[in-house]
Each structure stands twice: as structure tokens, then as C-alpha cells.
Structure 1
Amino acid sequence: MERAKNSYGLKVHPMRDQLYAELHSRPFQVLMSPARVSYVAVLSSPEEKSQDFEHFCGLYQINGETPPKEDGVCIEVDLGYLRIRREKHVEFISYTFIRLATNADDDPFKDNAFNFLPDNWLSGLPGTVIAAFHIAVEDARNQIDPDLSIAKGLFENMRLIGSRPQHGDAQVWTSFQVHSDGCGRFLIYNKNMSDSQLGRMVQRIVEIETYRLMALLSLGLARQYSAQLAKMDDKLAEATGRLSESKEKLDESALLRELIDMAAWVEAARARTTFRFSATMAYQELVMTRLSELKEDEVSGHLTMTEFMGRRLEPAVRTCKTTGEHLENLSRRIDRVSDMMRTRVEMSIEVQNQDVLASMDRRSEIQLAMQHTVEGLSVAAISYYSVGLIKFLIEAVYDKGIKFDKSLVVGITVPLVIGGVWFATRQIHKRFLRLAEEKANSK
């Protein structure tokens, strides 16, 4: 909202309206009893979510209604004979179909809200269904408690979980199983709840069942990787044993490649499971929060939904959590072994470098001795050629008529030339050493 569009001239954050709207994006339903509620949640990719919106708009066209122009987080439409609520979540899209019941049915799950949808509309939903169930809401405010045998018959004689939510204002029965029509079932008897309270309770039950299934999506991954992690543990232990107990020369390159392969496998497994395991923790927390909001009391010695979830859901979630932690621990252990392996390789290289330096020192000593020898031979050679040149000079002077003893002069020249050449060579050698020291000191 701009400064000019509010009464006080305040400068309002551009996202303020969105933040307010977020709290009201999925309002609780107001539900009268008796009613028939059918629900489906579909796992969808971003492309499938776009296709799903087009598929949803088809319902408007079939019923002669104007479809929404843009997709939204929550869209509700009342077609008169059916109320539809579409919600878009991070991983899935859910549909809630509500039909108010006018007659008491012998089987409230047979005449469900799905029956009022166009033919093949449900089967045309893009994506894969993760949850599909019916909720039959019966008005029992002026009746005695329903017969348990009747409730059990509606669930095809499966074992029931039942409770009295909101401290006895309602009675809820379910089996948390898929029935012969491919859907789950919940039976609610409204004992003393208003329409708003009933709508909130039904919404919580819908979220409990949906988030329960979403939380369990990672259980297959956890079981798959648990068996592989046990083998990887043995492989790492064997590699560590070879590293610590090897008395002979170890093929360090081969072992390092083996550790790299193990690390690559673990990182790939973490990439495939981290999001799913994190989502499991989040969904499980939501399930337990919604269960606590139900404020259940026990019914006739049956397990409540909270007790059932604590007994069945939490162990599965712990399995996923343990597998994720196992992957993290294995990754750290491989890193530690790899560090030890690299340290060993570095130490081996250092020893080799020391041997190379020692060998270079020995070669330098030999080269120095050879250099001194060569210097001596060089002095002799240079002196020999120098004396030869001086001899030519002496003969040239003698031929010009200057008389002297040529042999004596040549003999006197030899030690002088040798001494001069030796002195010049030493000076050159000292000069190069001085230049080398100055260069080293400058660094």
C-alpha cells in the first residue's frame, strides 16, 4: 500500500497485504451435519500443477460457471449440489468435496461426494494420488451413542481406531486402511459441536491422514538404503583395517580410489534422501500437532488416533531419521579415513622428497668435486695455450735482433702464467658465489 492510499500517510511495506492474506489463505470450513465429505490429494510436479488448474477449470465449464483467471493457494466453489475446495501445497494438490446429506443412508460411504463428479473427471487428474478417503458425518446430537457393531460393519469388519475428540463432543471411527472401493474411511458422530467446530475438526482429521501418508513416503527409501548402508559399513571397516594393520607395502592409490567411490555413493544417497527425510520430520510434527488439537478421550477400550500414531507412525519416522543420521555418520567416517589416507600419502611423499634431496646433495658434492677437478684441468689447459702464445711473442722479439736466452725466458713465463690463470679463476669463482648469496638474501 502506497503512502497516499492509507488514512495516516504511512509508508507501508509492499508485502504487508500478502502477509495478512497468508494467515487467511486456507480458512476453516463451516460444516453442517449430516454431511458427506470426500477428499483426494495428488502428488504433482510443477508442470502437472499447471495442467491440474486447467483440469479444475473444466468443472466450472461443465456446470456453466466462470472459471478463475489465475491459480491460487486455495480456491472454493459452491455448485449448489456440491462444495469444492482446491488447495495447492508444496508437494501436492488436494481436493475436498462436500455434499450435505438429506437422508440417513444404511451405508453412508456408498453415496459419497465422488459420485456427484462428472464421469472420468477424477481419473483425469494429473499426477499420482497419495491420499483418497471419505468422511461420513452423522448428526447424533439427539441420539444415544451409536452401536459399535454398526460402525464396524461400515468398515468391512476391519479393526477400528476410535476416540471422542473435543472432550466427548464428537465420536470418530476409522481403520486407517484402504477399503474395497480403494479409499479410506472416517465416520464422525456429531454429539455437541457447532458447525464451525465440526468444520475445524474435519479439517484436522483430513490433515492428519494426508500428512501421515506424506510422512511415510520416505520409509521405502529408508529401508532400501538401510541394507546398503550395512554393506558400506563393512566395506569401510575393511578398508580402515587394511590401513591400520598393513605391515607390507599398501597400494595407497587403489585404497584412496576405493574411499572416493564410497564417498561418492554416500553423497549421491544424501542428495536423494535429504529432502525426503526432512519432509518426513516436518509432516510428522504437523500430524502430532493436529492430534493434540483434537483433545481425544478413549472410547470403549479402543486405541485413540493419537495412541495409534504413536505406536505406528513414530517408529517409521525414527527409521527414516536413523537412516539419515547413518548416512551423515558414514560420510564423516569416510572423510576421517580419507584424511588419514591422505596424511599417509603425504608422509610417504615427504620421505621420498627427503630421499631425493639427499640424493641431490650427494650429486651436488660429486659435481663440486668434479668442478674442482675441471677447474684444475682448465687452469692447466689455459696456461698451456697462454705459454704457447707468449712463446710466439718471444720468438718474434728475438727475430727482430734483440738477443736473449729464449729458453730461460719461456721457463720463467710458465709459473707466472699458471699463477695468473689460477688467481683469475678463483676471483671469477668467488664473484659468482657472491652474486648467488646476494640473490638468496634478496628473497
Structure 2
Amino acid sequence: MTAKTVALDFHPLRPDLYQELHSRPFQVLPPQARVSHIAVLTTSEQRKSQFKHLQSLHRMLGQPWPEEEVTCYEQTFDNLRIRREVHLEFTAYTFTNLAPSDVEPFEETGISALPHGWLAQLEGVVVAAFHIDVSPSTEHARNEPAFMRRHFEGMRLVGSSPQEGAARVLGTFQLHSDSFGRFMVLNYTMSDSQLGRLVQRLMEIETYRLMSLLALPVAREITPALNDMDQQLATITQALADNETLDEQTILAKLTNIAAKIEAFRAHSTFRFSATKAYHQLVLTRLEELREDEVSGHLTIGEFLTRRLTPAVKTCEAVSERLEDLSKRVDRTSDMMRTRVELAIQSQNQQLLSSMDRRSQIQLMMQHTVEGFSVVAITYYLIGLLKLALDSIYEAGIIFNKTLALGIAIPATLALVYLVVRLVHHHFMRMAKRQ
């Protein structure tokens, strides 16, 4: 009986959201396999070139090639399995040699089955490259440390029995003579699917471990500069606290220079530090999923990475936090400097206003004095004109006492001129107040 389809308005991304959980399925490995894993840092242009390079591998093998790039591509050709996973900043290649073999571990690897010269043409910067030898466990391999150590060129081993003793995992977390790392998986009771998941977790642990450490050289590179800027900032802050006489312009220029350097460091390192934190969390999650049991005489993978990897990640986190702290301290110091400059400017403005007020008062007193002189001067000229007018009237035959008339006119003219000057003064004062 066919289920009825319900007509609903589904989100257009709904199929992609479902597919995301199945985009990178675990591999299924037989009891014996040789796996090589390579993680390559890539740009968008290199990624396109890498996909064409993958197509060329199919042509070399005489097989149909993929037409479109996908997040996870996997294909098996006879005894060679190819898996390509596209991540945010790197592309991971896994080559699995499934052919039965009686040779010693690592004498044949996953890349041994690749066409000659193809791998050398792969574009991008290789970060992780290691081999994993998967084989059934034997009593000889299980109980003889020398048997295991000779396959790792005498290096110190790190290992455990994951999944509650269902297998044994050994490695060195070092580069060997072929510039590849090495892991050995001895299977006791695991099924093919369990074995595939175990190997996948190992590959992710090693790849994410190396990716998380990419930020450590950046942290070491910028730390001396941070120490220098920290000392400069402490000196400036102490000078401000001691209320010393400072050249504000020079100090602000230094603060601007420090802030510019900090922002340049943040732009250069923020993504790397954030990625380190994310990769480290993935490593811890994968280690927890291993469910390791200790193997006598060896550090477990979790113990080794916790002791060695975590301090490096914490160093990167500390430098990142220090950048943020320095940025905030520079902002606070700049605010204090701006406040200091503003207070100095306000003090100068206050002094300038006080000086202008004193000058205004002096000018007002001078103005009153000038007004008094101007009243006298205007009265003098008006009396001169009045005298000429009186002389003209007297000579015209009108007899009167010119001296008396002139004496009476002088105080009257003086009072009239004074009133007119005061009226003009008050008129302009009212205009100034309205404006």
C-alpha cells in the first residue's frame, strides 16, 4: 500500500539538510588493508585544478570520471579505493590498497597502487600525510614489543586498545624516513564496519591535530611584538596615573600606531586561532569516541595528545585573548588621553574666555569714556554752528542778547546730545540681545 503524499510547503533546503548527515559516510574495511591519507591546504583555484587532477586519475585507470565535484567522493577500482573529501580549508585524500599481501607492514601502502607520477602532480600544500596498516592481530604481534617497534624505525610508540580492547592501535606521531607518519591497527574482534570507523577516527585525529597546530607558529611570531607593545602601553598608562607632563600629540600617535599593529595582527590571526579552537575540540571528541584502554608500557593516544597538544592550543588561545585585552587597553588609554586633551582644551578655552571678558570690560569702560568725550565734542560743534546761526540772525537786524542765548543753549544742547547718544546705545544693546 502506497503512503499518501501530504501537500505541505517544504523548505527548499530540506533535502540538503537531510543529505548533510550522510555526506561523509564511514568506510568499510576488510581485515587486511593498507591506507594512505593526505590532507592538502587548497585555495578555490587549486580545488578546481585538483578535481581535474582526480579526473585524470580515472582516465589513467581506464574508468569513467566524475563530471561534478561533491563534498565526499568515493570509488573503488579493483583493489584500489579512492576517497576525496572537501573541507573548508583543506582537501583530504584517502587511498586504500585492498589487495592481499604477505609483505611486512608499510612496505606496501595505499599509494603504492596509484599510477606512477600521478600523486606528484597534486597541487596544494600538504599538511597531513601518513600510512595506516590494518591487519588481523596475532599472538606474535600482540606480545612482542620489538615486533611492533621495528616497523616504526625504532621510534617511541604511543598506543592503546580502543573500543574496550577490540583492537590495538600503535603510532609515533612523528615523520618517518619517507616523510609520512605511520599507524598500525591490529584487529582482534572488530567487524569490517567497526574497523572502518576506527580508521576514520584515527585519520581525523591526526589531520585535525596538525591543522590545530598551524596557529602555533603565528602565536610565537607575534608574541615578542605583543610584549613590546604591552610594555609601551604600561609606560604610557603609568605616566597618566602619575599625572606627568606629557606631549599629548606624541602619545596619541604612539597609541594609534599600537592600535594599528594590533588590528593587523588580529586580521592575520583571528581565523587561524578560531580554527585551532574548533579543530582541537574535534580532536577531543574523536579521542573520546575511541574509548581507549591502556596498553602496558605505552602512553595512550588520549594521554599523549592531551599532554602535548593541549598546551600548544592553550598558547594560541592565550595569545588570542591577549590581543583582545591589548586592544581594549589601548581603547581605554586612548579615551583617557582624549579626556586629558579635552580637559586641557577646556582649561585653555576658560582662560581665553576670562581674558576676553576682561578685555570686554576694559573696552566697555573705554567705550563709556569715549561716549563722554563724544558728547562734549558733538556739543562743541553744535554750539559752534548755533553761534554762527545767532550771528547771522543778529546781523539781519534782530536785536537780542547773543551771549545770554548762547549760554542757555550750551547746557540744553549738552543734555540733548547725551540723551540721543544713550538712546542709540540702548538700541544697539537690544539688537545684540535679540540676536
Same-fold call, TM cutoff 0.5: yes
Counterpart of 1:266, as a letter, is: I
1:241-296 residue CA offsets vs partner (Å, 9 max, x unmatched): 3333365x322211221122112212211221111111111100000100000001
Report the 3-state secondary structure (helix = DSSP H, G, I; strand = E; otherwise coil) of the residue aligned with 2:190.
Answer: coil
Q: Which one is further off, 331-340 or 208-217?
A: 331-340
Q: Structure 2 CA distance, aligned partners of 1:121 and 1:40?
A: 14
Indicate which of 300, 313, 319 corresponds to 1:317. 313
Counterpart of 1:47, as a letter, is: E
Q: CA deviation at 1:227?
A: 2.4
1:67-122 residue CA offsets vs partner (Å, 9 max, x unmatched): 2222221111222231111111011001001111312212x212112122223222
Mapped contact 1:141–1:192 kept (Cα < 8 A): no
Q: CA deviation at 1:144?
A: 7.2
Deviating above 6 A after TM superposition, structure 1's stretches of 4 or more consecutive aligned residues are 141-144
Residue 214 of structure 1 pairs with residue 208 of structure 2: no
Residue 80 of structure 1 pairs with residue 109 of structure 2: no
1:173-212 to structure 2, matched below 5 A, reads: 173-212=170-209
Residue 330 of structure 1 pairs with residue 306 of structure 2: no
* Normalised TM-score (structure 1): 0.93
Q: CA deviation at 1:143?
A: 8.0
Q: Structure 2 CA distance, aligned partners of 1:146 and 1:195?
A: 24
Q: Which residue of 2 aligns with 1:55?
A: 53
Q: Structure 2 CA distance, aligned partners of 1:34 and 1:203?
A: 15
Mapped contact 1:41–1:92 kept (Cα < 8 A): yes
Q: Structure 2 CA distance, aligned partners of 1:93 and 1:22?
A: 17
Q: CA deviation at 1:339?
A: 2.0
* Normalised TM-score (structure 2): 0.95
Structure 2 unmatched runs, 5+: none
Mapped contact 1:387–1:413 kept (Cα < 8 A): yes
1:324-379 residue CA offsets vs partner (Å, 9 max, x unmatched): 11222222222222222222222211211111111111111111011111211221
Q: Percent identity?
A: 51
Q: Structure 2 CA distance, aligned partners of 1:375 and 1:174?
A: 106
Mapped contact 2:212–2:280 kept (Cα < 8 A): yes
- For residues 266 and 430 of structure 1, do their structure 2 counterparts lie closer, same or farther at Cα, with a shift above 3 Å needed? same
- For residues 179 and 201 of structure 1, do their structure 2 counterparts lie closer, same or farther at Cα, with a shift above 3 Å needed? same
Q: Structure 2 CA distance, aligned partners of 1:192 and 1:305?
A: 20
- For residues 142 and 197 of structure 1, do their structure 2 counterparts lie closer, same or farther at Cα, with a shift above 3 Å needed? farther
Mapped contact 1:134–1:183 kept (Cα < 8 A): yes
Residue 157 of structure 1 pairs with residue 154 of structure 2: yes
Mapped contact 1:33–1:100 kept (Cα < 8 A): no
Q: Which one is further off, 112-121 or 419-428?
A: 112-121
Q: Structure 1 CA distance, aligned partners of 2:143 and 2:16?
A: 46
Residue 277 of structure 1 pairs with residue 260 of structure 2: no
Report the 3-state secondary structure (helix = DSSP H, G, I; strand = E; otherwise coil) of the residue aligned with 1:93.
Answer: strand
- For residues 144 and 261 of structure 1, do their structure 2 counterparts lie closer, same or farther at Cα, with a shift above 3 Å needed? closer
Q: CA deviation at 1:386?
A: 2.3
Q: Which one is further off, 179-188 or 115-124?
A: 115-124
Q: Structure 2 CA distance, aligned partners of 1:235 and 1:144?
A: 61
Q: Which residue of 2 aligns with 1:434?
A: 430
Q: CA deviation at 1:124?
A: 1.6
Q: Structure 1 CA distance, aligned partners of 2:189 and 2:173?
A: 25
Q: CA deviation at 1:162?
A: 1.0
Counterpart of 1:35, as a letter, is: A
Report the 3-state secondary structure (helix = DSSP H, G, I; strand = E; otherwise coil) of the residue aligned with 1:403.
Answer: coil
Residue 97 of structure 1 pairs with residue 95 of structure 2: yes
Q: Which residue of 2 aligns with 1:253?
A: 249
Q: CA deviation at 1:435?
A: 3.1
The alignment's C-alpha RMSD in Å is 1.8
Residue 34 of structure 1 pairs with residue 32 of structure 2: yes
Counterpart of 2:36, as a letter, is: S
Counterpart of 1:12, as a letter, is: F
Q: Structure 2 CA distance, aligned partners of 1:74 and 1:399?
A: 128
Indicate which of 2, 5, 20 corresponds to 1:7. 5
Counterpart of 2:21, as a letter, is: L
Q: Structure 2 CA distance, aligned partners of 1:299 and 1:11?
A: 56
Q: Structure 2 CA distance, aligned partners of 1:387 and 1:58?
A: 119
Counterpart of 1:256, as a letter, is: L
Q: Structure 1 CA distance, aligned partners of 2:51 and 2:201?
A: 25
Residue 139 of structure 1 pairs with residue 136 of structure 2: yes
Aligned residues: 432
Q: Structure 2 CA distance, aligned partners of 1:380 and 1:66?
A: 118
Report the 3-state secondary structure (helix = DSSP H, G, I; strand = E; otherwise coil) of the residue aligned with 1:69.
Answer: coil
Q: Structure 2 CA distance, aligned partners of 1:36 and 1:144?
A: 17
Residue 128 of structure 1 pairs with residue 112 of structure 2: no
Structure 1 unmatched runs, 5+: 1-5
- For residues 392 and 62 of structure 1, do their structure 2 counterparts lie closer, same or farther at Cα, with a shift above 3 Å needed? farther
Counterpart of 2:387, as a letter, is: K
Mapped contact 2:208–2:283 kept (Cα < 8 A): yes
Residue 116 of structure 1 pairs with residue 113 of structure 2: yes
Q: CA deviation at 1:223?
A: 1.4
Indicate which of 143, 166, 176 corresponds to 1:169. 166
Report the 3-state secondary structure (helix = DSSP H, G, I; strand = E; otherwise coil) of the residue aligned with 1:145.
Answer: helix
Q: Which residue of 1 aligns with 2:343?
A: 347
Mapped contact 2:134–2:184 kept (Cα < 8 A): yes
- For residues 139 and 29 of structure 1, do their structure 2 counterparts lie closer, same or farther at Cα, with a shift above 3 Å needed? same
Q: Which one is further off, 389-398 or 317-326?
A: 389-398
Q: Structure 2 CA distance, aligned partners of 1:100 and 1:211?
A: 25
